[in-house]
Amino acid sequence: MLRRREFLTLSLSAAAYLFCGCSRGDGDGMMSGGMGSTSSDLANFSIPNFTDLLKVAPLLEGNNISGVLHFDLSVQKGSVNFFQESSTNTFGINGDFLGPTLKLKDGDNVSINYTNNLDEATTMHGHGMHLPANMDGGVHQVIESGGSWSAVYTVKQTACTNWYHPHLMGKTAEHVYKGLAGMMIIEDTQSVSLDLPKTYGVDDIPLVLQDRFFDANGEFKYSPSMMEVMRGYNGDIFLVNGGINPYVELPSKEVRLRVLNGSNSTVYTLGFDDGRSFKQIATDNSFLESPVSVSSVVLSPGERAEIVVDFTNESGKSLYFKELSQNKNFLKIEVVATQLQATLTPNTLTSLTKYTSQDAINSRTFSLSGSMGNFYINGVSMDKNVINERVPINQVEIWEVSNDMMVNHNFHIHGTHFFIAQRNGSSVNVVENEKGYKDTVLIPPNESVTLLVKMTDYADSVNPYMYHCHFLEHEDAGMMGQFVVE
């Protein structure tokens, strides 16, 4: 029997083959040749070879004004030297590419203030945040060029690693591709008391993983063909925190990596070149109840995982954090001696309030389908003037989501978290490191998931939340719907 990671890799390759008629590709696992295939043209550029230090985004903890933490963020144009020979036009937040990490705590009153200094409209969505629908930053909270918008709410959720990114209808993929994204770290009283690595940028490292195509001038190449929209726009150059092939010095102790798949459409299978095991301690929206020992983690676009890797007594060792299915390295790690106090990840991390199918009062079905560059949920494409579902507040529901295509999809729900109750009709198929709160779930071709969903705190019969595939080309091409909570 194939393990889940192996099956996902095979499914992705087979789906791409079927939809583009192309060969299996080169030794790096990237598809090449065939109808609608894109590749980078870097013949005149020197690609960094793990000689540039990993960039770690600044950590913002907010400016306290009358009991409200204010985070002031400028969405702007930028320019980045990914290669020595040329600069690349980019978008960024308070900088040239990507944005700062925002640190929030359960119970904080916050005002996240965005000013749009681009020449076009955008939005900014708090992905994974539990907040009112009109503060969600979805397709209805448009920030026009030169305008400002603030997400004002009280943080009401357990410790997790979330992120923020644009959500402009039809333009999400392009805006993320150009560089608009940043992490959000949420802490609570329990998380700060656990014996975990927590020195930001030293033994607690954010990793935003992405991929891009570059043209012969060193600019981002974003013009997906219909076939590339269908299978996803999967770049052949890896970026980590906005850098190509960086290295990082990590202390010879336990180290926590907060890993975000910030790509447009690529499923990553992540691990280390020496095959070592590590502990996954968190999913999208919570700690796991206990650490899960794994040697790889599969993340689809939008998913996050927190892992703890033990480098104790390994000073002087070099290794690589890599994408295993493509056999490509993301990051070189150099382990160095440290004076930091050792940590020992506890065997119990949290206790989660869990629902069962018997708690549900209602069930809904969502079928993901598409053809010829158009995508649908339950046979219809996104229409921002149509409310597709009305969900009762404080009631557990079963959401059955099926992928009826031969390409990978995933499913993201705004404003809440859920539990994965079953894969393909059985709870046995839900692996241990998926058993935390999640907001995004991978659904391989012709598979299904059963989710337990409960909307709490915020009822609003006018302003909707979104649900959608987080493969951004699929979302932009219609695989999205809206629901209100009543």
State pTM to two decimals: 0.92
Q: Is the pLDDT of residue 15 over 60?
A: no
Residue 10 in this model has a pLDDT that exceeds 50:
no
Which candidate, 7, 8, 30, places its Cα nearest to that of 20?
A: 30
For the domain made up of 52-193, give the CATH fold.
Answer: Immunoglobulin-like (2.60.40)
**SS3 of the chain:** CCCHHHHHHHHHHHHHHHHHCCCCCCCCCCCCCCCCCCCCCCCCCCCCCCCEECCCCCEECCEEECCEEEEEEEEEEEEEEEECCEEEEEEEECCCCECCEEEEECCCEEEEEEEECCCCCECCEEECCCCCHHHCCCCCCCECCCCEEEEEEECCCCCEEEEEECCCCCCHHHHHHHCCCEEEEEECHHHHHCCCCCCECCCEEEEEEEEECECCCCCECCCCCHHHHHHCCCCCEEEECCECCEEEEEECCEEEEEEEECCCCCCEEEEECCCCCEEEEECCCCEEEEEEEECCEEECCCCEEEEEEECCCCCCCEEEEEECCCCEEEEEEEEECCCCCCCCCCCCCCCCCCCCHHHCCEEEEEEEEEECCEEEECCECCCCCCCCEEECCCCEEEEEEEECCCCCEEEEECCCCEEEEEECCEHHHCCHHHCCCECEEEECCCCEEEEEEECCCCCEEEEEEEEECCCHHHHHCCCEEEEEEC
Range 64-83 average pLDDT: 98
For 391-433, write each residue's pLDDT tens digit.
999 999 999 999 999 999 999 999 999 999 999 999 999 999 9
Residues of the chain with pLDDT > 90: what percent? 92
Predicted pLDDT of residue 5: 38
Q: Pairing mode, if any, of strands 396-403 and 362-371?
A: parallel
Q: What is the largest CA-CA distance in the chain?
A: 61
Instruction: For CATH 2.60.40.420, list the domain ranges present in the chain.
Output: 4-41+197-335, 52-193, 357-485
Average pLDDT, the chain: 93
pLDDT band at 35 (very low <50, low <70, confident <90, very high): very low
For 92-127, what is each residue's pLDDT tens digit?
999 999 999 999 999 999 999 999 999 999 999 999
Question: What CATH number does the domain located at 4-41+197-335 have?
Answer: 2.60.40.420
Q: What is the band of 382 on the pLDDT scale with cuts at 50, 70, 90?
A: very high
Residue 476 confidence (pLDDT):
98
pLDDT of residue 203: 98
Choose the CATH number for 357-485 among 3.90.1150.10, 2.60.40.420, 1.10.1040.10, 1.10.150.120.
2.60.40.420
Q: What's residue 23's pLDDT? A: 28
pLDDT reported for residue 28 = 34
| Residue 37 pLDDT grade (very low, low, confident, very high; cuts 50, 70, 90) | confident
Q: Note the pLDDT tens digit of each residue in 221-269.
A: 999 999 999 999 999 999 999 999 999 999 999 999 999 999 999 999 9
pLDDT digits (tens, 9 = 90+) for 301-325: 999 999 999 999 999 999 999 999 9
Task: Give pLDDT tens digits for 440-478.
Answer: 999 999 999 999 999 999 999 999 999 999 999 999 999
